[in-house]
Amino acid sequence: MIFSSNTQLMCGILLITVPTIAYGGSFLLRVLSGSIAMPFTAFQKSMFRAGHAHAGVLVLLALIVQPLIEAVGYPLFTEWLLRASFGAAAMLVSGGFFAAAGHKNAEKPNKWIMLVWIGAVLLSVALFILGLGLILN
């Protein structure tokens, strides 16, 4: 199967993000194992773990849906809106976990936790639109 240039572009962009997630994972592993003495609270470590895990899973989901978006045959604007929504949701959700725990000696999330909720809503809407398109196509 040959993919459109739009699908190839988005898959290429998403694949380029994977090494940054892997680097973040290696840093997180060193922090959690004690190799790097960083003054993070247990809450921060758990939020960083969640952010890292969500980044990996949601980028993989964003990769998987790219050919599905192409298969539905939405108009170009809707297609790009969906493509961008999946990548944006990955950044918002994972970034929200990191930002919500980024303040010194954090024991609870700050206002940036709203990014997680915004990303979750965006992801849910994009999944619904794509799923509906696949069913009705």
Distance of CA 62 to the CA centre of its chain: 8
pLDDT in tens, 72-90: 999 999 999 999 999 999 9
Cβ atoms of 106 and 43 within 8 Å: the answer is: yes
pLDDT surpasses 70 at 37: yes
Closest CA to 18 of 46, 54, 53, 55: 55
34 vs 21, residue with greater confidence? 21
Q: Where does the pLDDT of residue 34 fall: very low under 50, low under 70, confident under 90, or very high at 90 and above?
A: confident
The Cβ of residue 106 has, within 10 Å, a number of other Cβ atoms equal to: 15
* pTM for this model (two decimals): 0.91
Q: Which two tokens stand for residue 129?
A: 């639109």
The Cβ of residue 59 has, within 10 Å, a number of other Cβ atoms equal to: 22
CA distance 58 to 40: 25
For the chain, helix (H) and strand (E) counts, in that order, are 4, 0
Cβ atoms of 71 and 22 within 8 Å: the answer is: no
Q: Rounded mean pLDDT of the chain?
A: 94
